[in-house]
Amino acid sequence: MRRLDRLAALFLFLLATPALADEAKPPPPTYEPRTWVKDLRGEFGGVAVAYRATAGETVLKDKDGKPKAAIFSIAYIKSDTKDPTRRPVTFLYNGGPGSASLWLHMGAFGPKRVVVPSDAQDDAAPPFAIVDNPQSLLDVTDLVFIDPVGTGFSKALGKHDAKEFYGINEDAAVISEFIRRWLSENGRWNSPKFIGGESYGTTRTAALANALEGRYNDVALNGLILISTILDFSVQADDPGNEMAHVVNLPTMAATAWYHDKVPGKPKLEPFLEEARQFARGDYILALLKGDRLGAEERARVRSRLAYFTGLREDYLERANLRVSPQRFMKELLRDRGRTVGRLDSRYTGVDYDAAGERPDNDPSFYGIDGAYTAAVNAYLRDQLGVDLERQYSTIGGLGGRWNWKLEGRFGEGYLNVAPYIGKAMRENAALRVFNAAGYFDFATPFFGAEYALTRNGVVPERITFAYYPAGHMMYVHGPSLERLAADIRAFISNR
């Protein structure tokens, strides 16, 4: 009997062991997202709007159901909307890659904005004025500002590394997942939908349109908003032998020379820039393509016209073989004044350690605004919306070196161009429209480069709106340009 008892006890123990092991297993990792909500009022576009501001985290999960990323966003939703199918929602983000959405949020379209000098002067030191923003788009659309992983308060979770989300396709996948979640949780699947970004954010918009619309389980979009556009990266590659880089930069050089009074007679800006476009796509590109076969007489004629448009001396242009990189131009244009011009916004000028080099020490149009925006977004989120996360808000970081620049499918390696994604989306969605905003004084994403990309690649020309502003990459730092930009996008969203 004793032996039988021992065997029975052993049998029962063995049966219980798996259950005990299961109980001993740690539960799956969790992450509790935090959210802050405030009900507010404001006047936007001349219309009084009651709205709810929601700042918080959305946790995305991997295929095993474990948290992989916390996406921080700030949503502004009109409070008294009776029919959400009539109320648009617009998702906005910035670029980098590695930039949070604070620039469009605190500079252009959020209910509050930070004031920086409109005349391209340095923002200096705090306190900076954070004011009501009547240009916010809340009168015509709800707004969701998104910070991708590695920016703002957004981060990878658990065993997931942030680099999993660093890439054109990877980034588009996670942002599209966030948008789908947001639409489901807020009951907005049948609302008009717009997506938009600035700089690399326009690259993200093209890839995101493909991720949202290029699947059977698609999210139909009403419009794409492109601000300071970069779609075809081949025209930006400053490499020997790439003649298109010189072609697309020429009109921006002309605009900059005009602004700094380096063009004889200073004609009206728009006709002058159209003349520069014609020269760039005509005599100039033909001369560059001829290379060493360019005759002396034709070379002299082209060099003279190039000097007229760029404000540079002919002897300098000759030494540069008629090919001046943006960095050299920024240093050379105002060398006689001991000044350099900005990359993001060539209205700005800076003073280098010495005037003898061929490249600027830094970009005065970035260090001329970054302090104000960093202070403003932290003060606004923490003091006004009550966000009390301990981690730092990352405004912008250099993720480009860690970015996976390879595209999927036939748009692949070596020729990085996401414009065909936009063409495909427009051909397969008969209502999809595109708004392209460009600053004349922007060397980071030259306006002629956007025109080049959007007038080919299968894009439907009848449904594109091109708008131009007498400012730079972040044209909204210039007060009159902000007013025009907001009015233009209001009209675009309202389809009028």
| pLDDT at residue 10 in the model | 44
Euclidean distance between CA atoms 322 and 317, whole angstroms:
5
Average pLDDT over residues 16-31: 56
Q: With cut-offs at 50, 70 and 90, classify the pLDDT of residue 2.
A: low
**Percent of the chain whose pLDDT exceeds 90:** 86
Q: How far apart are CA 153 and CA 72, in angstroms?
A: 6
- Which range, of 230-239, 259-268, 425-434, 458-467, averages the lowest pLDDT? 230-239
Q: Does 62 have pLDDT greater than 60? A: yes
What is the structure's pLDDT at 29? 65
Structure confidence at residue 464 (pLDDT): 98
- Using pLDDT thresholds of 50, 70 and 90, give the confidence band for residue 239: confident
**List of domains in the chain:** 35-234+370-494 (3.40.50.1820), 239-365 (no CATH)
Dump the DSSP string for 448-485.
Answer: HHHHHHHTSTT--GGGEEEEEESS-TTGGGSHHHHHHH
pLDDT digit string, tens, across residues 300-347: 999 999 999 999 999 999 999 999 999 999 999 999 999 999 999 999
pLDDT at residue 100, as a whole number: 97
Give the pLDDT of residue 407. Answer: 85
> Would you say residue 7 has pLDDT above 50?
no
**What is the Cα–Cα distance from 249 to 242, expressed in whole angstroms?**
12
Q: How much of the chain is in helix, strand and coil states, percent to nearest 5?
A: 45, 20, 40
Alpha-carbon radius of gyration of the chain:
26
pLDDT of residue 216: 78
What integer pLDDT is reported at residue 192 of this predicted model?
97
Q: What is the pLDDT of residues 402-459, one digit of tens each?
A: 899 988 765 445 679 999 999 999 999 999 999 999 999 999 999 999 999 999 999 9
Integer Cα distance of 18 and 250 in angstroms:
73
Burial-class residue 9 by CB neighbours within 10 Å (0-12, 13-18, 19+).
Answer: exposed
Sequence letter at residue 275: E
d(CA 358, CA 365): 18
389 vs 78: CA distance, rounded Å: 26
Name the more confident of 442 and 214: 442
Q: What average pLDDT score do residues 62-88 get?
A: 95
Torsion sign, CA atoms 398, 404, 408, 414: positive
* CA nearest to 466, candidates 442, 493, 435: 435
Per-residue pLDDT at 12 exceeds 60: no
The rounded distance, in Å, linking the Cα atoms of 131 and 115 is: 7
The length of the chain is: 496
Distance, in Å, from the CA atom of 402 to the CA atom of 393, rounded to the nearest integer, reads: 20
Rounded to an integer, the average pLDDT of 173-195 is 97
- Answer whether 60's CB lies under 8 Å from 51's CB: no
- Is the CB of residue 221 less than 8 Å from the CB of residue 194? yes
Distance of CA 82 to CAs 88, 140, 165, 186, 493, Å? 13, 14, 37, 14, 19
Mean pLDDT of 263-285: 98
How far apart CA 356 and CA 335 sit, in angstroms, is 8
The predicted structure's pLDDT at residue 217: 82
Kindly indicate the confidence band of residue 401, based on its pLDDT and cuts at 50, 70 and 90. low
Which residue(s) pair with 196 in the sheet? 92, 225
Determine the pLDDT at residue 370: 93
38 φ/ψ angles, rounded to the nearest 5 degrees: -140, 140
Question: Does position 25 have pLDDT exceeding 70, yes or no?
Answer: no
- Confidence class of residue 1 from pLDDT cuts 50, 70 and 90? very low
Handedness of CA 242, 245, 250, 251 (dihedral sign): positive
Q: How far apart are CA 237 and CA 36, in angstroms?
A: 43
* Strand blocks (E) in 361-419: none
The amino acid sitting at 94 is N
Q: What is the mean pLDDT of residues 54-77?
A: 97
Terminus-to-terminus CA distance in the chain, angstroms? 93
Q: What is the pLDDT of residue 14?
A: 43
Q: 19: pLDDT confidence band, cut at 50, 70 and 90?
A: very low
pLDDT tier at 241, thresholds 50, 70, 90:
confident
Mean pLDDT of the chain: 92
Q: What are phi and psi of 39, to 5 degrees?
A: -100, 125
